[in-house]
Amino acid sequence: MDAKHDVSALIYKIVWDECQTSYRNLFRIMYPHLKAFAFSILKNKEQAEEIASDVMITLWRDKHRLLEINNIMVYGYVIAKNRSLNLLKAKNGREVSIDEIDIDIVFNAPNPEQSLITEELRKSLQQAVQSLPPKCKMIYRLVKEDGLSYKEVAEILSISVKTVDAHLVTAVKKISEAIKSEYNLA
């Protein structure tokens, strides 16, 4: 059973049965991603936790509308993005665009694929990713780290799928160049 099917089943139980266990399971799936996403924008752990919690509370509060939402993960990311940008706006006293933010990416615990990469190579990769322009970094994180599709990322960031593709191509090219340079691979 894939993750999207699992989430759909949880949503159904939340809406029709008001199942708190299903909500807790949805929380376990979504909260870490939302918190990491908000942190990449806000660079503040407590604020990121608060944003992620607020998103999850919103989902529970508006549970009767969840079946109307095509993709609950994208919906959650959009809420987290908007609330994070609103928090920055309140803090800075002006509108803040996602393009202006220097995105931080934190590499999570290694998955099986990442376990095969040596620590040295992992650090080089992380440095290369951190050197990307902010929007490239955000798109790289959402696609490569969170496993979202180009279409989902486009919806979250309010850009076209082609723009997502272009940023990802740029990101992969720059990362590849940095790794080749670091290890003298020509």
Average pLDDT, consecutive stretches of 10 residues, N- to C-terminus, the chain (186 residues) = 70 91 94 93 93 95 91 94 92 78 61 61 82 90 90 94 95 86 71
Task: Look at residue 58 in the predicted model and tell me its pLDDT.
Answer: 94
Sign of CA dihedral 158, 131, 51, 75: positive
* Euclidean distance between CA atoms 113 and 117, whole angstroms: 8
* Euclidean distance between CA atoms 73 and 55, whole angstroms: 11
Indicate the fold that domain 99-186 takes in CATH.
Arc Repressor Mutant, subunit A (1.10.10)
Task: List Cβ<8 Å contacts ≥24 apart for 46-52.
Answer: 47/84, 47/87, 48/84, 51/80, 51/83, 51/84, 51/87, 52/80
> CATH: 1.10.1740.10, 3.40.50.150, 3.90.45.10, 3.90.1150.10. Which one for 1-96?
1.10.1740.10
The helix or strand, by DSSP H or E, that contains position 58, with its residue range, turns out to be helix 45-61
Task: List Cβ<8 Å contacts ≥24 apart for 81-87.
Answer: 81/37, 81/41, 81/156, 81/157, 83/38, 83/51, 83/54, 83/55, 84/38, 84/41, 84/42, 84/47, 84/48, 84/51, 85/41, 87/42, 87/47, 87/51
Task: Look at residue 1 in the predicted model and tell me its pLDDT.
Answer: 37
- As a residue count, the chain comes to 186
Task: Look at residue 162 in the predicted model and tell me its pLDDT.
Answer: 96
Hunting for tokens 């080749």 — which residue is that?
180
How far is the CA of 96 from the CAs of 133, 164, 167, in angstroms?
16, 20, 20
| Domain extent listing, the chain | 1-96, 99-186
